[in-house]
Homo-oligomer: A and B are copies of this chain.
Amino acid sequence: MARLGRSTWAFGERQVGVVATSTVAGTLEAQGPLSDAFDLRLDDDRAGQDTWERAEQAMFRRAAEIACEKAATHPSDLDLVIGADLNAQLTSFYMGLRPLARPMLGVYSACASICEALAVAGLAVATGFADVVLVGTSSHTSTAERQFRYPTEYGVQRPPTAQRTVTGAGTAILARGRGKWQITHATIGEIADFGVRSPWEMGAAMAPAACDTLRQHLADTGRSLGDYDLVVTGDLGRVGLDILRHLLVEQGVASAPVAEERVQDCGAMIYDENQPEVFSGGSGAACSTLVTFGHLFREMERGHIHRLLVCATGALLSQVSAQQGDTIPSISHAIAFERGD
């Protein structure tokens, strides 16, 4: 249990376990290729609520309930709840999970938030400051579009580099020394900014941040790409993933075939490219959460993946910063998972 190199926390073997995860998927996500990996598949993105924001809160709350059920954990046993969403001032997290009535820490690094939450939770669990922690994120296409770009109702035409914000929520329950999966390392990212200004080009904005964090993680841990069965980024989409692979080859991190085989992206996995209006793929704080806690953890359980690195990626823009012509600073945090048994 120690800090490694510039920015990696090593939690040690079997210290930080993941006992249970939960995933609630929106309608388009439920119709996608990973459909059967999700615990709950909605057929209405309103989730029976009267506003999109309350729908997102309800999904987050339902995800937390499912995780508690699967872990046979009563909310009162949670020492801490850590999470995020994309709404201004984290209202989905705070309002959605308010009924848990437990100590809460809101974090924010846009769509990298799930890895930030897992890092802080891992630190608390590894050091014995918390025994059981619930972490999670949510996003919703209809709340996020009006936060960051234009309300969906405007019908603004999007370029092919655009991504669709994933609708859904996912949570995980971490516990000290037990669980089917474990978190071994967290690498805290730094800002990368290559001057991209368009909120429709988030893959291009975030790819350099993912590249930096992956390189830093490998340098800090002394590992190579080959030590992981799979490295996934959060939500670069098909366009951003292509840029990342080029960067990795250019910087000597991987050969082209290795980058092609070992490096994937949750945003490129969650939809079939023939689904309507998914453009370059998925994005949003729930994107890497749904794919990791749903699909990839199942792949680990099935023995198809032993060691997994998730580099969630966040574009740190706001509607105001975009309107004021600012560039999009981006960040990526990485979490290394292994089977826990």
Contacts and interface: CB of A to CB of B under 8 A. Distances in A.
Interface in A64-99: 79-80, 84, 86-91, 94-95, 98
Q: Report copies per complex.
A: 2
Contacts of A188: 80, 103-105
Contacts of A129: 2-3, 9, 123, 127
Residue of A53, A89, A129 with most partner-chain B CB within 10 A: A89
Interface string A89-121: 111001100100111111111100000100110
A86 B320 CA distance: 13
A329 B98 contact: yes
Interface string A38-75: 00000000000001011000000000000000000000
B95 A329 contact: yes
A2 B128 contact: yes
B189 A87 contact: no
B316 A101 contact: no
A191 interface: yes
Contact of A120 (B105, B191, B316, B317): B105
Contacts of A88: 88-89, 147, 318-320
Contact of A324 (B51, B116, B123): B51
Interface string A115-151: 0100110011001111000000000000000010000
A129 to B, nearest CB: 5
A242 interface: no
Nearest to A10: B129
A53 B91 CA distance: 22
A272 interface: no
Contacts of A53: 320-321, 324
Interface of A: 2-3, 6-7, 9, 51, 53-54, 79-80, 84, 86-91, 94-95, 98, 101-110, 116, 119-120, 123-124, 127-130, 147, 188-191, 193, 316-321, 324, 326, 329, 331
